[in-house]
Amino acid sequence: MDFVDTCVIGGGVIGLAIARALAAAVPDVLVVDQAASIGQGISSRNSEVIHAGIYYPADSLKARLCVEGGRQLYEYCQSHGVAHQRCGKLIVAADVTEEAALLNIQDLASVNGVNLSIWSGAQVTDAQAHIRASMALFSPLTGIVSAHDLMQSLLADLEQRGGSFVGSTRVEAIEAVDGGFVVLCQADGAEYRFGCRSVINAAGLGAQVLAGSCKGLDPVHIPPLYLCKGLYFSLKGKHPFKHLIYPVPEASGAGLGVHATLDLGGRVKFGPNVEYVDEADYSVPEARREDYFQAIRRYYPQIEKARLVPDYAGIRPKLQAPGGQPADFVIQGPSVHGLIGLVNLFGIESPGLTAALAIADYVHTDILGY
């Protein structure tokens, strides 16, 4: 039977970042993915925002890893030529009734070490004449990144450190054995197995099923998964946006409201909304246009409905049940489940892209301890 030191299951931004970090410490790190190439899952269907770490509860993994990950990500993008832009973001109160919520956000952010400045409605109009706000918070650290460029760069680093990626390979089962694991895969209709010392389950939407296939892992450690869809509409033609524009977040904590995000090609898109679904489907129904139009016109009154076109959708791997309490990332190692060498990552929704490099360090040093 073939043997590698570490098998990372999932070639999204999280698996690639972890594999790259581990490859600096151990000899052969293999990333496997059921898709033919890297980044075909959640990592290619998101807003590509580098978050500052504003909304997450103090001391949560989301807060810590987002703030640290964002700092590392800017440095990484600069040193590795990954396309990005620190364009800043405005969180806008549409009227005075929303201003108290902004002040709460400012307090929460400052506990996380993130400074947001208050802008008056007039300052907002000076900077972005088309935006209507009674008050706003400005986040200078927020930016955008090309997720695809980032993943390509992480893969190049991994390969340079002696690691590799194998696509079109679905992991069907994992078995804990003496001194490590046996991984059972399907590739091109054939089954094969190999041994490894460590397994990193970074399978995104597939993390729970994969953990459930792990012989020796007590299912009590597998949190329920809730699929939560987010749709995007883009704006046809020219637009006046310079900063990202966010409304006050939804009270449920499930989403940040239908916001305006720029991409590196200069386009603006609106979304994502929050829709819990039973199955992952990526359609963007025309019928949602009216809801988007109504949400956007609260801060961008000149929006023309006919210029909103259905774009793409992503699915969040939420641990927060519909109507339930917001949940943190769950990153489990042997101290939780008792299997030395196994790391499970559950619920890596936003800000996972921002936090990827810090998540990798956390898995490497805090969970595996090498």
Ligand X SMILES: Cc1cc2nc3c(=O)[nH]c(=O)nc-3n(C[C@H](O)[C@H](O)[C@H](O)COP(=O)(O)OP(=O)(O)OC[C@H]3O[C@@H](n4cnc5c(N)ncnc54)[C@H](O)[C@@H]3O)c2cc1C
Binding site for ligand X (CB under 6 A): 9-15, 32-35, 40-43, 45-49, 51, 170-171, 202-206, 210, 230, 272, 314-316, 348-354
CA-based nearest residue to 174, from 199, 150, 191: 199
Give the nearest distance from C-beta 356 to ligand X in angstroms. 7
Closer residue to ligand X, CB minimum distance, 121 or 223:
223
User: What CA–CA distance (Å, rounded) separates 89 from 206?
Assistant: 32
* Structure tokens given for 107: 């307090």
CB nearer to ligand X: give 353 or 357. 353
CB of 347 to ligand X, least distance (A): 9
Assign 73 to helix, strand or coil: helix
Sheet hosting strand 49-50, strand order edge to edge? 49-50, 143-145, 84-85
Residue nearest to ligand X as judged by C-beta position: 352
**Greatest CA separation for the chain:** 68
Our CB check for ligand X shows the closer of 158 and 353 to be: 353
In whole angstroms, how close is the CB of 181 to ligand X at the nearest point?
14
**Least distance (Å) between residue 62 CB and ligand X:** 10
For every residue of 44-61, DSSP letters joined together read: GSS--EE--S-SSPTT-H
Cβ nearer to ligand X, comparing 121 with 167: 167
Of residues 138 and 232, the one with the C-beta less far from ligand X: 232
Is the CB of 39 or the CB of 180 nearer to ligand X? Answer: 39
Q: Which residues contact 92 (CB under 8 A, 6 or more apart)?
A: 124, 131, 132, 133, 135, 136, 245, 246, 247, 248, 299
State how far the alpha carbon of 46 is from the alpha carbons of 39, 194, 234, 249, in Å: 11, 33, 13, 17
User: Closer CB to ligand X, residue 34 or residue 139?
Assistant: 34
Question: Do 313 and 45 form a contact (C-beta atoms < 8 A)?
Answer: yes
In angstroms, give the least distance from the CB of 96 to ligand X. 29
Query: Beta strands 244-247 and 169-177: pairing type?
Result: unpaired
27/212 with CB nearer ligand X: 212
CB of 255 to ligand X, least distance (A): 9
C-alpha angle 11/319/246, rounded to 5°? Answer: 85
Q: Closest distance between ligand X and the C-beta of residue 120, in Å?
A: 27
Distance, CA of 244 to chain centre: 17
Tell me how far, at minimum, the Cβ of 70 lies from ligand X, in Å.
8
The residue assigned the tokens 């009154």 is: 301
